[in-house]
Amino acid sequence: VRRGGIDELLRRIDGIVATPAAAIAASEWTTPAIADLRAAQREADRVIRAAVSEPAKPDTWTTRVDAVLLHPVWGMIALLLLLFVMFQAVFAWAQPAMELITAGFDALGAWSRTVLPEGLLQSFVQNGVISGVGSVLVFLPQIMILFLCILLLEDLGYMARAAFLMDRIMGGAGLHGRAFMPL
């Protein structure tokens, strides 16, 4: 508003409203009755309902998938099926790689017996180093598959959904739903 624009504004308001703005500005404030306030609120609500419409949310494939995955029964069945596939992957699918690692360390141990002279050094290298490292690394395929499954579940957003499903069950033990994955 430029200086002096207030008079112009008041003249325009006077042209629109039946009561002159100067009379409104000069009048004293009186607290309206509660009934008048409630009536005004009801009228405002009516105008809002008439003027504003909520757009219908489109039914996307993610909302349909969520309806199944978050369902108390079907969601739990989906979770149990997914956990079964994960455990199957960890234990059965990793077996060929585990056998390959075991065979590799067995061959390395046999080679060390032929290269090293019999005695304390050969026993240490074969039974301590090679067998020890081999017995730890044989679990590497299982760990890699497990972490790959967890990574996929996290990236797909299923971990949060599974935590939501498990929250009520885990709450019986005093835990949050997020605590189900380490179990």
Q: What is the mean pLDDT of residues 142-156?
A: 92
Q: How far apart are CA 26 and CA 16, in angstroms?
A: 18
Answer for the pair 147, 156: CB distance below 8 angstroms, yes or no. Answer: no
| Other CB atoms within 10 A of residue 98 CB | 16
117-135 pLDDT per residue, tens? 888 988 898 888 999 999 9
pLDDT in tens, 67-77: 888 888 999 99
pLDDT in tens, 15-51: 776 666 676 677 677 788 899 899 999 999 988 888 8
Q: How high does pLDDT run on average in the chain?
A: 85
Higher pLDDT, 19 or 101: 101
pTM score > 0.75 for this model? no
Those residues whose C-beta lies under 8 Å from the C-beta of residue 178, and which sit 6 or more positions away, are 163
pLDDT band at residue 182 under the 50/70/90 scheme: low
